[in-house]
Structure 1
Amino acid sequence: MAMENLDFIASVWRMLSSSLSWYFSWRRNTPPYLLIPASKVTADDDDEETAMAPPPSSDYLFCRLANKKLFRVKNGRSVLPDDAKCLMSSHGWLAFLNPRDCSLLLTNPLISPVPPTISLPFLGTRYIRRLVMSSAPTSPTSTTDGDECIVMAIATKTNTLLHRKNMLFFCKPGDESWEVLDSELKHDYTVAYSSKDRLFYCIDGFANIETWDLRGPSPLRICIDTSRIRTPNLPVSELNLRLNKSLRLKMYLVVDSCSGDVLLVWRYTAPLEDDGTIIDLTDRRWTRISFTTLRFDVYKLSVAKGSWDPVECLRDRVVFVGLCQPFILSAQDFPPGVVMPNSIYFSDDVQMYDDQKKDDVGIYNLRDFTVAPLFPSHHPFNNIPLPPIWFTPNRCYN
C-alpha cells in the first residue's frame, strides 16, 4: 500500500511539474505587438504600462495581440527626429528613416531608461523596400562573442530620370558605408535570414533563389537551382481569380527558426467594392485605391528536388507578414486563444510615403481559406492613416 501511495504521489508530481513547466514557458513568451501611430488613437488609460511619453515617442503606440489593448511604453526622451518614419521591425528593434536627409537609425523602444539609437551608414535614397537583420545589435559594452548583427537592405536607386533599379546592400552597425552585393536575381526580389544556416536567402519574382554568407571578409554567393514551382490543383473559380488583371501579388520569404524551413508566401490583394466584388482597374489608376487581401499561398523550398512545394497546413505554426521582417511562431508557445495556429497574421505593407489607405489587417486561416478582421469594427485602431507594424518584444541587446 505504501509503495502504491508513493507511485501515485510521484505520478502527480510529474504531471504537476510538466504543467508548471508549460505554464512558465508561455509566460516567458510575449506575443507580438502591433506598432501603430498614436496621433489618431488613444491608449487605454487604465493600463499599467500607459504613459505619456515626450515627442516623438508619443507618435507611436503599441497594441497587445492578446487583449487588443493599446499602450504607450514608459521610456526616456528619444533622440529620433520628430518626422522620422518607421520603416521596419526586426528582432525587437525598429528602423527609422529621416526623410530630410535619408539617414537611417535603429532603436529599441523597450530598453529603459533611454532607448538606444544606432546610426547606419548613409544609403542615399528614401525608397527602401526592405531591411532585414541577422540578429539584434550587440551592446556597445558587451564583451561576449555573440553573432555580429548584419543588416541587409533592398533599396531603389535612380540611375537616370526614368530608370530605377532595386539593389542589394549590406552593412554592420558601426560601418562607414554600405557594400553593394552583385546579385544575379531579376526584379521584385525579397530577402530573409536563416539563423540555423546563418545565411541570407534572396528570391526574385521568378522564384529564382540565392543565398549569401556575409560572415567572412568577402561576401559568398551560393545559387540554388529552383527550376519549377509545383502549383496546387485549383478549382475553376480560383483560376479565374488569379487571371483577374486587378489582382496585385506580394511576395514574402520567411524562415522557420526552429526547423530551418524556408517558406515562400504569396499574398493576393485587389480593390473591392462595398459588396465585395473586385474593381476593374483597366481604365483606372490603381495608386489611389486601397487594396484588400483575398488569400495566401504558401510554398516550402525543397533544395534536393529544386522546387517550391505547396504547403496546405502549417500545423501549430503562425506566420506574420507585413511591413516587418516576416517571422514564424508556434501557437503552443502562448496561452490558448492568443494566436490561431495554421494561420497567417498580416498587416498592410504599403510604405509610409505612399498615399493609399493602409488598413488591410487581419488573419488568414489556411484550414478554410477565410480572412477574418483582427479588430472589431468599433476598435480605435481601424482607419488609421499609417500602416501598422508587427513588433516582437525584446528588452535587450543581442
Structure 2
Amino acid sequence: MASTYSTKRRRLKYSSTTPNKWADELPTELLGLIVKKLASNFMDISRFKAVCSSWNRAARSYTSAPLPQYPGLMYPSTRWGWIGNGICFSSLAEKKVYKTEASQGFLGVDSFLGSSHGWLVMGKRAWTLGEIRLFNPISRKSRTLPSLPRGSPIRKIVLSSDPSRNNNFVVVVIHETLNVPTRLAFYQHGRGGENATAWTELEGSHDHYFDILLRNNGHLFALSKDHSIQVWDFGDTYNNNNPTKIMHFRPSMARNGFHGTMMGDKKWLVESMGELLLVEREWLGDNGRGTEKFDVYELNIAAKTWEKVECLRDCALFLAKNQPAMSLSTQKLPRLKENSIYFADEYHEHSHGGGDIIDIHVRGVFNFETKVVKQYCITGANNFSYSPAVWIVPSPW
C-alpha cells in the first residue's frame, strides 16, 4: 500500500514578535545542550529558532558537525502553479506537509532546477535564459548567480559545498550550446564577474553528458553518453587556477541488465559509502509512463569496469531529474527504507481536455530486493504542475 501523507498543512514561521522573558533568561550552556538534542530534525531547529532572538543566536552558533537530516520533497503549493505562488515541503520523517510563502528569492524564476547541499536551485522553465537563483527554504537566504549566455539551457547543476557554511563555493553545470549538445561550465563564487564572463567552460568538455558528480575531494566526475568517465580536479580552483582534466576512460560493463540505448532512459552518478555508483532507470508501461526498474553498478577504477550491484546495504538512494542523486544511511536515518530507491520523475506528456500537453509527476519507492515499485501519494502535492518536485536535505543552520 502506498504511504499517505497527512492532509494537514503547517505554516513555517521563522520569527516571533512575542516576548519570551523566561526563554531569554536561560543559560547559554543549557541552550547549547538543547540544540544538540534537536540537531537531527531541522523542523525542531526551526521551531527552536523561532522562540526568541537569544534562542535563534544559540542555534546559529552551533558549531558541531551537522547531524544527518531526513530528506523531503519540495513542490509548488498550488495546483497548476509556479513556484512563485509558494512552495510546500513534504517531510519523510514527520509525514506532514509544510507550506512557505513566496519570497524575494523567487523573483525572476518559476521552476525548480534541482537542489544541492540544502539549497534549492531555481530558474526559468522556458530554458532560453540561464538565470540561476539559489534559495535556502529554511533560513530564507538567497543568492543570484550570473546568467549563462542566452540559449544555454541548464540540464544539471551541482554545488561544491553549502553556501551557508562556505562562501567560497563552486557551481558546475551541464548546459546546452548552439553547436555542441552539452558542455560543462563552472563558476567560482567570489572570484569576480557579474555576467556570463564569470562562467568558464571546462577545457575538453564536448560530449553529450548524462550526469556530473562533484566529490568532497574536489574531483568532478562526468558521465558521457558512451558511458565513459571524465574527471577534473577542482582542488586548485580556489587559488584562481582553472581545474585540470586528470582522467578519461571508458569502463567495460557486463551487458546483462544494462539498457544503454533504450529510448527515454536516464542515468545518475552517486557517491555511496565512498564508492561511485551508476544508476540506470528503465521505463516500462504504455507510452513509457511509469518508472518500473532500476539497475545499479559500482565503478572499479583499478579494473576500469562497471560491476553490477545486487544490494544497497544500509542505504537508500534518492533520484530526481536535475538534481544530484543522494545516498543516505538507513542506519543513521532509520525511518528510511533500506535497499530502496526513492524517485521523483520529471514529467510525462499527457493529453488533457482539448489536447493540451500537461506535466504529470510520478513519485515512488523501488524495492531493490523485490524489484517492485510502490507509488506514494502526498496529500496536497501537485501531480499536475509546471515545476517538478525535487528532493532536498534541509540545511537549517
TM-score (norm 2): 0.71
- Output aligned runs, 1:243-262, within 5 Å: 247-256=263-272, 259-262=273-276
Shift of 1:125: 3.2
How many Å separate the matches in 2 of 1:375 and 1:106? 28
Note the C-alpha offset of 1:102: 3.7
Structure 2 unaligned runs (5+)?
1-36, 42-66, 350-355
| 1:35-54 matched pairs, under 5 angstroms | 35-40=74-79
Aligned counterpart, 2:137: 109
**Partner SS for 2:381:** coil
Q: 1:347 to 1:56 in 2, by over 3 A?
A: closer
Question: Does the Cα contact within 8 Å between 1:322 and 1:346 map onto a contact in 2?
Answer: yes
Tell me if the contact between 2:348 and 2:361 (Cα under 8 Å) persists in the aligned partners.
Answer: no
1:228 to partner: Cα distance: 0.6
Measure how far apart 1:172 and its partner are.
1.6
User: How far has the Cα of 1:356 moved from its partner?
Assistant: 5.0
2:297 and 2:388 map into 1 onto residues whose CA distance is: 26
The equivalent of 1:210 in structure 2 is 230
Alignment CA distance shift 1:393-1:38 (3 Å): same
Once the two structures are TM-superposed, the CA of residue 383 in structure 1 deviates from its matched residue by 2.4
Q: Matches of 1:224 and 1:30 in 2, distance apart? A: 35
Tell me, in whole angstroms, the C-alpha distance in 2 between the residues paired with 1:130 and 1:243: 20
Q: Distance in 2 between matches of 1:390 and 1:260?
A: 21
The 8 Å contact of residues 193 and 255 in structure 1, kept in 2 or not, is answered as no
Alignment size in residue pairs = 318
Contact kept? 2:129, 2:153, Cα under 8 Å: no
**C-alpha displacement at 1:357, in angstroms?**
2.4
Q: State the Cα deviation string for residues 149-176 of structure 1 (Å, max 9, x = none).
A: 11110001124xxxx5211100122342
1:373 maps to 2:375: yes
CA RMSD, Structure 1 to Structure 2 (Å): 3.2
Q: How far apart are 1:56 and its partner, in Å?
A: 6.3
How far the C-alpha of 1:83 sits from its partner, in A, is 4.6
Greater share of residues in strand = 2
| Paired residues for 1:143-154 under 5 Å | 148-154=168-174
The alpha-carbon distance between structure 1 residues 312 and 111, as it changes in their structure 2 partners (threshold 3 A), is same
**Following TM superposition, by how much is the alpha carbon of 1:87 offset from its aligned partner in structure 2, in angstroms?**
0.8
Work out the percentage of aligned pairs sharing the same amino acid: 25
Of residues 155, 169, 180 in structure 1, which corresponds to 2:185?
A: 169
Instruction: Provide the rounded CA distance (Å) in 1 between the counterparts of 2:375 and 2:295.
Output: 19
User: Do 2:129 and 2:147's aligned partners in 1 also have CA atoms closer than 8 Å?
Assistant: no
Highest Rg: 1 or 2? Answer: 1
SS of residue paired to 2:359: coil
Q: 1:380 to 1:41 in 2, by over 3 A?
A: farther
Aligned CA distance change for structure 1 residues 346 and 56 (closer, same or farther; 3 Å) = closer
Amino acid across the alignment from 1:69: K
- Correspondence 1:155-194 to 2 at 5 A: 155-159=175-179, 165-174=181-190, 175-176=192-193, 177-183=198-204, 186-194=207-215
2:158 counterpart SS class: strand
| 1:101 shift after superposition | 5.1
Q: What is the match of residue 34 of structure 1?
A: 73
TM-score (norm 1): 0.71
